């Protein structure tokens, strides 16, 4: 069975604080986040931009978080105001994963990696049965 895997990377800048954190991360500060998303599928799909079954999903849908906060993304936002949870790197990756899943066809397996700094990152995925 054929498998296609899309990969894309993007960046966004945002501020946050980790509520309840005993240390400097408990104060408002910012990061230039880097995100890598892979989307794997055993079939090709249409998108809202292309009616034919010729893509796993549209790169535009994978990169939604790179848009400005006024356009529904995370760029130049305060993450505490955008996420329904405490914006740790782990929760940011989970949030991007869940929001991306809602924008793409069913059956696509996602893996989301978020770098908070050049040397610190987290990967989020779910078991696909």
Give the SS3 label for residue 70: helix
Catalytic residue positions? 25, 76, 116
CB contact at 8 A, 53 and 44: yes
Q: What is the DSSP string of 75-113?
A: BTEEHHHH-SS---HHHHHHHHHHHHHTTS-TT-EEEEE
């Amino acid at each position: 069975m054929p498998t296609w895997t899309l990969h894309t990377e993007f960046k966004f800048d945002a501020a946050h604080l980790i509520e309840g954190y005993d240390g400097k991360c408990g104060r408002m500060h910012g990061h230039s986040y880097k995100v890598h998303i892979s989307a794997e599928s055993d079939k090709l799909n249409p998108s809202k931009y292309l009616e034919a079954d010729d893509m796993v999903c549209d790169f535009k849908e994978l990169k939604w978080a790179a848009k400005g906060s006024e356009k529904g993304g995370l760029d130049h936002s305060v993450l505490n105001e955008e996420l329904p949870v405490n914006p740790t790197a782990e929760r940011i990756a989970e949030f991007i994963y869940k929001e991306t899943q809602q924008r793409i066809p069913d059956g696509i397996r996602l893996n989301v990696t978020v770098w908070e700094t050049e040397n610190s990152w987290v990967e989020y995925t779910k078991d696909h049965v």
